[in-house]
Amino acid sequence: MKFQRFEAGGEQAHVPQIPVEELSERMKQGAFLLDVRTANEWSAGHVEGATHIMGGDLAKRAAEVPTDRAVHIICGSGYRSSVASSVLKRAGFGDVVNVAGGMSAWNQRKLPTVSGQSVGCASLVQSGA
């Protein structure tokens, strides 16, 4: 996937937002979730089934993101996922959804998480409801 350079003031892409409760339901149906937080944040706890690509690495790893289904994006609070959502929209991804409130909202609602060092693998520790 080729990324173009955009100047400030250019056309903005609309990216819908959903609350974490809706994401939780979509995850039960097999939704694709992209977590753009740092490796340390990911290891401390993430949504089971999520794919981890740190936001700063997204441009060079965009080929790992599916183009044939909705891409839900989460970070710590919603800011980095909003930026990542815009990056993917501008790169031609059609169905991109930002998760409002990020992992802060997820954890506040005591939704389940897994933790561990292994990216892309089920971990050994589970917490939450």
**pLDDT tens for each residue of 52-108:** 999 999 989 999 999 999 999 999 999 999 999 988 998 899 999 999 999 999 999
Q: Is the pLDDT of residue 129 over 50?
A: no
Q: How far apart, in whole angstroms, are the C-alpha atoms of residue 52 and residue 50? A: 6
Domain 17-114 has CATH 3.40.250.10: yes
- Give the start-to-end residue ranges of the domains of the chain: 17-114
Single out the residue of 19, 27, 15, 36 nearest to residue 91, CA to CA. 15
pLDDT at position 58 is: 94
pTM of the model: 0.82
Token look-up 């974490």 returns 20
Give the C-alpha separation, 112 to 45, whole Å: 9
Token pair of 27, please?
């995850």
Can 121 be counted among the known catalytic residues?
no
End-to-end CA distance of the chain: 38
Say which of 47, 50, 75, 91 is annotated catalytic. 75
